[in-house]
Structure 1
Amino acid sequence: MDSTANERTMLEQMLDVQRGEIAALLEGINESQARASLVPSLTTLLGLVKHATFVERVWFHSRVAGVPREELAIPVTVDESFVLVDEDTVDSVRAAYLEACARSREIAAQHDLDNEWEWHGRPVSLRFVHLQLVQELARHAGHGDILVEKLRAAG
């Protein structure tokens, strides 16, 4: 990462680092490990990556691009974004996540950092959206790291 780049480049690079951390959570993980429930919440490795896809779609695809959430077929609630269905696999969830990230990059490239959208009755800029995603993905990557550590320790 270029630590002397302009603001936009640094925001995009920081976000991409966190996107990579989320995608890497599923590396070397089998289907049963990916679905393993190791904490009392809905959080699983596969669920974390599925949730990260939801986050990309909510912020970039819906808020920034203006596509109604219903058209994106994304869950209504945050909790629902962690729910797995039988068709969810390591490969399908990872592919959906990578596709969502690629689309988010395309959407962001069409806007300036100072462009604004409404969020809970107040304006937010593209700069805010980038930072929101950096902090959310970093938090979830940390959750995922702990789950991976527990799975590997269990052998």
Structure 2
Amino acid sequence: MKVLWIEDHEPVRDMLAIAADKAARARVQIDLVLAPTLMEAERRLRLERFDLVITELTLPDSYDGDMTIARIANMGKHRVAVSSTHPDRDTIVSTALRCGCNIADTPIFKANLPYNRFIQRPEAMLDFFFDQMPAPGPKTRIAAA
């Protein structure tokens, strides 16, 4: 699975890089690309295809969470997941869902992510990524009344 993780906090990026390295050594099929800013993420999205994009809502070059999601969602057919401590993350995700965005319906509270478990058990990180993907099965459409 190819994942772009947009994270502006360097210590978190360092832990994710260590976890990705451990996954590669354990031959867990994760290709993790880290981006510190939205501009860097957009550059990567123009050049590569990703299955999943995990993002913060406020980044050094994008303070509006709705705009951050819109810019990422419009750059491909990847799934988007929100990992943030932003207080309005639930509202922003529900708005994106109503707009038809391919976004995980439950945002992740970044402070509760098990970074150490990702490092100790690389398959746990892969399971986490798969948990952010849409459930298999027929797509349901919500008709407007």
Shorter-chain TM-score category? Answer: under 0.3
**TM-score normalised to structure 2 length:** 0.28
Name which structure has the greater RCO, CA cutoff 8 Å, separation 6+: 1
| More helix per residue | 1
**TM-score normalised to structure 1 length:** 0.27
Larger radius of gyration: 1
